[in-house]
Homo-oligomer: A and B are copies of this chain.
Amino acid sequence: MILARVIGNVIATQKEKGLVGSKIMLVQPVGLEGEQQGSSFLALDALDAGVGDLVVVVQEGWSASTAATSVEGRAIDAAIVAVVDTIDLD
């Protein structure tokens, strides 16, 4: 899983039926200091994350889709699965 910041969302009326009713969020991967790492991508929201939240994103199809939609095998390859409170660096 990776750390990412929620930066927006995507509106799509024409979509695969497994995605109907799901929120597609734009997320920007970030490092431990909040710095950007690589390109933004799209993730379904398994919680109720908002823009600006620091989140944990899982990037694996089967598990991500099950988590985000409660239905197996949906056409998803990334999902927001946690909102981060704090990072402990020992």
Contact = CB atoms under 8 A, between A and B. Distances in A.
Contact of A82 (B15, B32, B59): B15
Interface residues of A, number: 59
Nearest to A6: B90
Q: How many copies does the complex hold?
A: 5
Interface string A55-71: 01011111111111000
Nearest to A46: B16
Nearest to A86: B11
Contact of A88 (B9, B47, B81, B83): B9
Contacts of A52: 90
Contacts of A74: 63, 67
Nearest to A90: B51
